[in-house]
Structure 1
């Protein structure tokens, strides 16, 4: 059994798992709280049968959102960007906190793929403490369903097949500019342990030790964040790549070794040029690999066909997911909304 089976003493009391199938959505909050906007949004979510919202925003705004959601019996999760911290005014003052690729390029100065890719290194102790403090700040909010981690991984060493052409890439091998984890602290620690600097590897992708060493850095960070959340009585969830083995290969993310209360694998089949059945396959694999609940993440623009959306939701449920979360309910078509209403009532 994976090490996520270890239960900490401070873990929140487990709630009885019901047969209900959760309907959730990711949502963004602006820096300014407007009560009327959120009242309208939660009324809309409620009309679709959505009972959980993963909301990205600052702590002050989230504190005001939670009571409004509660009026509609909607649970709020604080959606936190973890290692990817674009335009973070505190982190930006510490260039040594940032991840480094195989070419020695710092993620603050060299932004792989897109400008908002500004990744902290899980090897830097001050960066890790800063991330813990971000969790502690969110943990002050009363009434959260969880603190929800996102971007808790490395830069994509391999993009999904459908994304590569958008960047003019053919990633049939691990390209050095996208191969991260070579922070000086990481290299020094690895050399001390194994007697070799990983920057000297001719084919670093062939070293299982070097890959596992980097996986461990993220895993220990996540499990320390879980402890911080649990100490304050909060649950910890995370948005993750589709299933653990795929996550390891694409973004060096071993989420089956994490002590989460729930995971939200992002099953965006179009990114990988897969069909709807792949959503069921990925769900089933994730359910097999971990001992905490899985909520299937679905990408609404790739499920414009109401029949595809309905099939995806039914497959996720059939293969063991305890719910689904859509990115995002705010851009659903009228036909998609009808599917939500229909299935949320059917699954009650």
Structure 2
């Protein structure tokens, strides 16, 4: 079984330090890490394609981490935030490349849900090319075993059930509101109209054509993934391409336009964060089964801070394996409570 964590690189850099963190992870049985190297606020290394995070301008905090991981024999899959990019300078210079709601409002002017929800439009060739360049840049700059998609989607048209009460104006039911429905920029509207003869801005959600419009947008995300995948594999076919995706194929498609079983990448890490969906930890096994039935390699993503007992972590890992997962990926290291590292260690002991 593959044993991995998503790792908050800047947090580790500022607090624990790479050597201590990687030793702790190695001792816990972790064999692979997904360190975040490009966030919605900028990169953690000097990039040709996106501005650096303001805290680390001129610094490369990725290379020393990769070197330290290799000392422990831990595989590294840099984690890249894709379509959600809120760096102020970039947003200001490229406002026309961001998504627009059904109300005709740019997410730059009125971000849905939270202030950093500024999303690049998946129909734009510039955005697709930029993302491919970043992935190849990371693959070529660092001694990596893989590269990892995150936020490879549109904004949530429907929020997971457990999150709805936290945000103003979000209905309790699975309904689509115009202010959360993206993207209706001029390019998306023109391309869809050329294909179907209809301006999507005029479609009502109950119309059958709206289903085609929904599918059309999901296909734009799929196109980006396949394009980036080809670029990475052309650079080095041995580099694994993986993605953090929503919990199940059905929820991912209906909530964030991810038709992830059709992406044909090497590994999927569905974020089966059970409390967001108003379930207990045993739902993780059900979600894994739904994904595995699509014929994909899947490492079950678990939000470690949601667990209330170490036995629950062990049970979730066991359920994942029994339902066909090839691994587990814990979010996030460093964890919110120090004892959680020990819980992870205990849960992985049977799989050494």
TM-score with structure 2 length normalisation? 0.88
Matches within 5 A, 1:264-283: 264-283=269-288
Matches within 5 A, 1:88-237: 89-168=89-168, 169-172=170-173, 173-203=175-205, 206=208, 207-233=210-236, 234-237=239-242
Match in the other structure for 1:83: 83
**Residue pair 1:53, 1:74 contacting (<8 A) in 2 also:** yes
Of 281, 288, 291, the match for 1:286: 291
**Secondary structure of 2:244 counterpart:** strand
**Secondary structure of 1:90 counterpart:** helix
Structure 2, gaps ≥5 residues long: 38-43, 46-59
Q: Deviations over 1:243-266 (max 9, x none)?
A: 112111011110011021101000
Match in the other structure for 1:12: none
Inter-CA distance 334–202: structure 2 relative to 1 (3 Å threshold):
closer
Inter-CA distance 256–88: structure 2 relative to 1 (3 Å threshold):
farther
Inter-CA distance 332–117: structure 2 relative to 1 (3 Å threshold):
closer
Structure 1, gaps ≥5 residues long: 1-20
- The Cα of 1:235 is off from its aligned counterpart by 2.0
**Residue pair 1:85, 1:119 contacting (<8 A) in 2 also:** yes
Inter-CA distance 345–287: structure 2 relative to 1 (3 Å threshold):
same
- The Cα of 1:309 is off from its aligned counterpart by 1.3
Is 1:55 equivalent to 2:35 in the alignment? yes
CA distance in 1, matches of 2:130, 2:241: 17
CA distance in 2, matches of 1:86, 1:170: 26
Inter-CA distance 175–98: structure 2 relative to 1 (3 Å threshold):
same
Match in the other structure for 2:17: 37
- The Cα of 1:101 is off from its aligned counterpart by 1.0
CA distance in 2, matches of 1:32, 1:265: 24
CA distance in 1, matches of 2:159, 2:295: 24
CA distance in 1, matches of 2:275, 2:291: 18
- The Cα of 1:181 is off from its aligned counterpart by 1.9
| Matched positions, count | 327
Q: Deviations over 1:192-244 (max 9, x none)?
A: 11111010012267522111110110000010010111112122110000111
**Residue pair 1:97, 1:124 contacting (<8 A) in 2 also:** yes
Match in the other structure for 1:323: 327
